[in-house]
Amino acid sequence: MSKYLVRQSEVKPYSPANHTGTRNFRLVGPETVGAKQVEVLIGELERGKGALPHAHPGIEQVCYLLEGEAHVEVGGEKFEMKPGEACFFPADTMHLFIATSDRAKVMVIYSPPYAEDPKKVIR
């Protein structure tokens, strides 16, 4: 087994806090490959479900939509996303991400790592 290769099929999914109908797979982070400055996960969302309004103090976030469609709100902007599009959530900025198709799959990147730490979220 490689200490640098991570397969989604070998990662246990979890339901993230402040989300509904969402399964996340943490692929890259301190506990998987020892990453200290970045965290990468795959999120699978059901229609009408996803991240409720929140912000991450001191953590920047990028979402890259792999499958499906989503409604996003960040920093006073609202827009619809399709596969192949990315959005940026600045640190300390309220945002939400909701699947508008039957299913959505999104790659999420945090810097520095979020790791579901309740001290790193504002609701």
In a domain, 38, yes or no: yes
Q: Measured at the alpha carbon of residue 18, what is the angle toward residues 69 and 89, in degrees to the nearest 5? A: 55
Query: Would the pTM of this model clear 0.85, i.e. be above it?
Result: yes
Domain residues for the domain of 78 are: 22-111
Look at residue 120 and tell me if it is in a domain.
no
Contact 55, 119 (CB under 8 A): no
Render pLDDT for 24-38 as a digit per residue (tens, 0 to 9): 999 999 999 999 999
CA–CA separation, 111 and 123 (whole Å): 19
Q: Domain containing 53 — which CATH number?
A: 2.60.120.10
**pLDDT values of the chain reduced to their tens digit, one per residue, 123 residues:** 689 999 999 999 999 988 999 999 999 999 999 999 999 999 999 999 999 999 999 999 999 999 999 999 999 999 999 999 999 999 999 999 999 999 999 999 999 999 888 778 888
Judge whether 80 lies within some domain: yes
Name the E strands within 8-111: 19-28, 39-54, 60-67, 70-74, 77-81, 86-89, 95-99, 103-111
Give the amino acid at 57.
P
Q: Give the three-state DSSP class for 120.
A: helix
User: Is position 30 within any domain?
Assistant: yes
Asked whether residue 89 is assigned to any structural domain, the reply reads: yes
Both tokens assigned to 98: 């909701």
- Domain total in the chain: 1
Pick from 56, 18, 52, 22: which is nearest to 39 by CA? 56
Pairing of strands 70-74, 39-54: unpaired
